[in-house]
Amino acid sequence: MSADIKTEKIIKSEEEDDESEVEIWKYVFGFTPMAVVKCAIELGIPDILEIHQTPMTLTELASKLGCSPSSLYRIMRFLSHYKIFKQKPVVSETSSLSSSSVTGYVNTPLSRLLARNGKRSMADFVLLESSPVMLSPWHKLSARVLGKEESAFEAAHGVDDVWKYAAMNPGHSKLIDGAMACDARVAVEAVVKGCPEVFEGLKTVVDVGGGDGTALRLILEACPWIKKGINFDLPHVVSIAPSWTTRVEHVGGDMFDQVPKADAAYLMKVLHDWGDEECIAILRKCREAIPKDTGKVIIVEAIVGLNEEDDNNKKFSEVVLMLDMVMMAHTTKGKERSLKEWSYVIHEAGFTRYNIRKHLQTYHSVIELYP
């Protein structure tokens, strides 16, 4: 080996070591962005800036919040570095020119997603996943992998999974409903825009595990030809669901026992909470609920690896992998599935064919199942 090649390898190795020493701190303090974003949501900063519209100085923002300007400055400096908020010059009241010495804060497209009252707000999702209840199971993940605990969630809280915990804790159940409504607003918009044809010809739809009914309401608003929607979930969930419209009926029950009859059964981010056997059982109940000749089941879920070769959706691949880890932490058997894994549960449930629609502006894909 020549001296030049050896020197080049040494330099490359040193550069990789330097990069690693920088990168490792992202894991040491990896929780920090989530915690500070949660703080901003709880303080209501994105909502205040959205109402104010023009750049808001630190003094104005601190006065509105009733907090220390010095502590707030450090929070805003951190979040501005992460491009969650943006600094802009404050325009003088007496001049159209901007003062070079006074700056204010404004929202960005990212921070608007953190506003509690925003149309596409994800604030409730952040608050759910950053809650002590959802964070505790992560500390039990290695025990589950080693087989010392069957469920990380049970090891942390003494019950099998997050759904049983929510049934006993109304406050956490409300957090879940709010988070699922956030996800529904984003996912349904992507589905309706990306493949509206999946709802064509339907007169009735049952949303299995539909939470507070947000997804179903959005589907019915986009598809006026659907005359009736049934929001089907556990009794303690639908008992507090809002009365969205006369076209939506809230029905309580257990999807493992029976699913209300409709032209189509819609399942959005339900099956990933369960193991294969449970998914097969749920899908069989859905197959019983739809017409044999014209019915279908519409699944909205992630598919691991499906977007790797799709430049438009490749950016969501990391989200899917993170979700798979969330399933490991928060459920007993839940997981994100590959196409092969989806194909297995679909055929075992008795469906003869399926169709995948994947080019959506979201990490979700749509799988249409036919009896």
What CA–CA distance (Å, rounded) separates 154 from 157? 5
Contacts of 276 (CB under 8 A, 6+ apart): 333, 341, 344, 345, 348
Residue recorded with tokens 């204010």: 104
Tell me the β-bridge partners of 169. Answer: none
Tokens of 220: 């019915």
Picking from 161, 172, 215, the residue whose alpha carbon sits closest to that of residue 326 is 161
φ, ψ for residue 176, nearest 5 deg: -65, -45
- Please tell me which residue in 301, 330, 364, 368 is annotated as part of the active site: 301
Question: H or E segment at 90?
Answer: strand 85-91
336 noted as active-site residue: yes
How large is the C-alpha radius of gyration of the chain?
24
Q: Which amino acid is at 339?
A: L
236 noted as active-site residue: no
The distance of Cα 365 from the centroid of its chain, to the nearest Å, equals: 14
- Please tell me which residue in 250, 272, 330, 364 is annotated as part of the active site: 272
Question: H or E segment at 265?
Answer: strand 264-268
- Return the DSSP state at 65: H
Picking from 119, 124, 49, 39, the residue whose alpha carbon sits closest to that of residue 79 is 39
104, 127, 337, 218: CA torsion to nearest 10: -80
- Please tell me which residue in 154, 249, 336, 368 is annotated as part of the active site: 336
What CA–CA distance (Å, rounded) separates 229 from 248? 5
301 noted as active-site residue: yes
Q: Please list the active-site residues.
A: 272, 301, 336
